[in-house]
Structures are given as C-alpha cells and as structure tokens.
Amino acid sequence: MEDWATRLKRLRTATRLSQAKVARAMGIAPASVAQWEIGRSKPSLDRLSALANLYGVSLADICGTDLGSPTEALKAAKIQPPRNRFPVSGFVSGADRVIMYSDGDIVQDGDVELPFGGYDGIILRVNGESMVPRYKPGEVVGIHLPGKEHFTTKMIGKDVVAKLLDGQIVLKTVMCGGDSSSFVLASVNPLVPPIFNPEIEWISQIEFHLVG
C-alpha cells in the first residue's frame, strides 16, 4: 500500500515540478517539501488544499487515508491567515564563494517572513562581512533572475548580486572603472579589495534588503 510520503512524491513528479518550485508556489522552504517526501514530516492540514490544486488532483487524492479528512483540510485552509513566509534559496557572500541551492540541496535551506506578500524573485541570505555595516551576516536580500549579462551605466552606485565566471556569487556595489567601458565591484569594508573588470555570468540589482 502506498504511504503518504510516496504518494506526495508521485503526485509532484507527475506534474514535472521540482521540490523548489512547489516550495516557491506555497511560500515555504524546499526543505519542507523534501521532508514530506522522505517521511520525516507531514504537511499540515491547511496546506493540503493548496497541494491538491498545485498537482491538479482532488483533495481526497492528496489526503488518502493517512493525511487527514478532506473536510477538515478544506476547513483549515479557509481559516488560515495569509502567509508571508518565503524560502531562502542559498547564500550570497560579500567576500567569498557561496551556494545557491537547487532541488535536493536542503541542509542549510530555510525560510524568512517578509513584510509583504507575492514576491516571486530569489531570496538570498547574506554571508561574510565585506559589506558590513550596510549588509550584516544573516540578513536577506531579494533579486530576480536570470539578471543581466552585461554591466550598464545605470548600475553605477547600485548594490547588486553578481555571479562571476569563476563560480562565485557576490554581493557588491557597482562602481565606474578607469573609463566608460570598465566597471568595478566594490565592498563597503575598505580592507576587502575591489574586483576590477570582473567577468560575469549574470548580474542582478538588489530589489529589497530585509534588515535583521
């Protein structure tokens, strides 16, 4: 007999959705979805209705015989207040190498409560101290991907997240280089050397910064 963990994974894979995409749609951490599918935790009653809608199945199909009553699940979904918790997709560093998590990388994932709803970008937690005091470790920033493939003059003086060709993903301020076609990624901390004319894969301006 199929248990609830196996059933949830089967229904998700049938929709070709990753754990990360399910988490984003529900405003939770990918770690939560992963924990459901390995049987370490169950989704709460109020989430079952949203899961059923996401997977295109009935509430009874989601609930089965082991996740609760469809009637109680529907009632719980209707009385829950709006959720403003969103998954954190990884770390962005002021000074060093970072990780952006994908489906399956759950060890350091988490979520954060934002003072607004409906955000559909990427949330990253600040790591390292090269941008202190403007950005402190543990605070979060939001960006949208895929970002830009090139620097522009409109970015000068703006704080950005940039993925360099060597794999680093850094939080810096864009500054003008020696001429109109060159750029520098600078840190707030003067002890951290700037990155001159960096080769980038993409660059995205900070859309919000949630102070801790």
pLDDT digits (tens, 9 = 90+) for 68-90: 899 998 888 887 655 677 778 77
Q: Which residue has the higher pLDDT, 184 or 26?
A: 184
Place of tokens 């002890």: 191
CA angle 48, 54, 56 (to 5 degrees): 100
Task: Report the percentage of the chain scoring pLDDT > 90.
Answer: 34
Question: Which domains are seen in the chain, by residue range?
Answer: 4-79 (1.10.260.40), 86-210 (2.10.109.10)
Statement: residue 115 has pLDDT above 80: no
- Distance CA(154)–CA(151), nearest Å, equals 8
Question: Would you say 176 and 155 are in contact if contact means Cβ atoms under 8 Å apart?
Answer: no
C-alpha torsion sign, points 118, 38, 66, 55: positive
Cβ-based burial of 188 (10 A; exposed 0-12, middle 13-18, buried ≥19): middle
Statement: residue 108 has pLDDT above 50: no
Closest CA to 5 of 47, 29, 40: 40
